[in-house]
Amino acid sequence: MQGRVLTCDQNVEGPITGKDVTDLFRGCMKMKRRDFLKAATAGVLLSGIDPFSFASAAQLFPPPQGLSQPDFDGHIKDYLHKMDNFDHPHSGDIILEKKQLALLNACVSRLKRLQSMAGHGNFNILSFDEGLAIAHRYPKVGSFTKEELDFLEKIFYSDSAIYGFWGEKPIESITTRINERKVVNISGSGNYLYKGKPREMYEKLRKRVGDQLYLTSGIRGVVKQFLLFLDKAHNNNGNLSLASRSLAPPGYSYHGIADFDVGQTGFGALNFTGKFTTTEVFKKLEDMDYVTIRYPKDNLKGVRFEPWHIKVYPEA
């Protein structure tokens, strides 16, 4: 599959936005799919219908103006195929060019050294400024270069819809800090949760499901989300679209404000796969009408099915 190469040096100043896309990719960038997804999503939301399923949107609304029914159906099939095969490259994916790929690799390496220095638990709630200070203080990590910082800012402030990620952005500033007085360390998990509703919901689930349910991922600050997202792209030749299908770009993760992931004890890494739906934990969660999954199957956000991802605030 051939992806589109993202070059940040083509007379583009500041973050890449949807307006820049046509200039960036010129003839090779087709806007029909973007317009289609925007129209379909807006139509579902404005109708007041719960936008739980991309397929439902296709049944409820006619093709956006300018798209024939066959093209409309083709876009739906293409979208669903990408979500079903989220971990594979696809035509039209945004892929970093050689220069940006080198910066990506350098940032991932430095972020991993920073995580080792700060400790995995503390790294989850580390702010961007705190991370920069630690990196500067300890030679084993080393200060981020100006080029690396520019690259990280470009990633954070760019429009994620370019990659095909259509989720909201609950964290708007790269320097957003997590108030440590408002979080609690969940014993034995290496993770934190916010006090209040997130912690209360987790404890409620543990009480209903039992000890076989445990916290696999809690609060993730901006720095943690940077590492997860960029490392996924790093392991896939700089493919930002592929990374965004399973990990929200930094700033777009609801783990930063409330959400958390759960799994079944003894299931290991399979807790982050579709096989989680075969566990007793998931079956019990399904029976609880107050439990909502952030990214259900065939969702409109450009994200794979995540049955382990608990949505804390239904309205968010």
Residue 206 predicted with pLDDT over 60: yes
Main-chain dihedrals φ then ψ at residue 158, nearest 5 degrees:
-75, 155
Chain-centre distance of CA 67, in angstroms? 29
Residue 315 predicted with pLDDT over 80: no
Amino acid 14: pLDDT: 52
Cβ-Cβ contacts under 8 Å for 68 (sequence gap 6 or more): none
Structure tokens at 116: 């080792």
pLDDT tens for 16-60 read 444 443 343 333 333 444 554 444 444 444 444 444 454 444 544
Confidence band, pLDDT 50/70/90 cuts, at residue 304: very high
Structure tokens at 188: 């034995």
Cβ-Cβ contacts under 8 Å for 145 (sequence gap 6 or more): 106
Amino acid 60: pLDDT: 42
Mean pLDDT along residues 224-241 = 98
Q: How far apart are CA 40 and CA 71, in angstroms?
A: 13
Q: Which of 229, 232, 225, 293 is nearest to 256 (CA)?
A: 225
Confidence band, pLDDT 50/70/90 cuts, at residue 66: low
Main-chain dihedrals φ then ψ at residue 78, nearest 5 degrees:
-65, -45
Amino acid 75: pLDDT: 79
Lowest mean pLDDT among 29-33, 83-87, 277-281: 29-33
Amino acid 56: pLDDT: 47
Are 208 and 284 in contact by the 8 Å Cβ rule? The answer is: yes
Domains of the chain: 4-94 (no CATH), 97-310 (3.30.1380.10)
Lowest mean pLDDT among 28-37, 184-193, 254-263, 272-281: 28-37
The CA-atom distances, in angstroms, between 259 and each of 82, 187, 192 are 25, 18, 11
Mean pLDDT along residues 69-84 = 83
Q: Which is higher by pLDDT, 67 or 77?
A: 77
Q: How far apart are CA 299 and CA 306, in angstroms?
A: 10
Q: How far apart are CA 214 and CA 57, in angstroms?
A: 34
Q: How far apart are CA 215 and CA 186, in angstroms?
A: 8
Confidence band, pLDDT 50/70/90 cuts, at residue 62: low
Confidence band, pLDDT 50/70/90 cuts, at residue 211: very high
Residue 243 predicted with pLDDT over 60: yes
Cβ-Cβ contacts under 8 Å for 193 (sequence gap 6 or more): 183, 184, 186, 199, 202, 215, 218, 219, 260
Amino acid 126: pLDDT: 98
pLDDT tens for 131-153 read 999 999 999 999 999 999 999 99
Structure tokens at 135: 């990196």
Arithmetic mean of pLDDT over the chain: 85
The gap between the terminal CA atoms of the chain, to the nearest Å, is: 35
Residue 156 predicted with pLDDT over 60: yes
Confidence band, pLDDT 50/70/90 cuts, at residue 303: very high
Structure tokens at 157: 């402030």
3-state secondary structure 82-118: HHHCCCCCCCCCEEECHHHHHHHHHHHHHHHHHHHHH
Are 165 and 302 in contact by the 8 Å Cβ rule? The answer is: yes
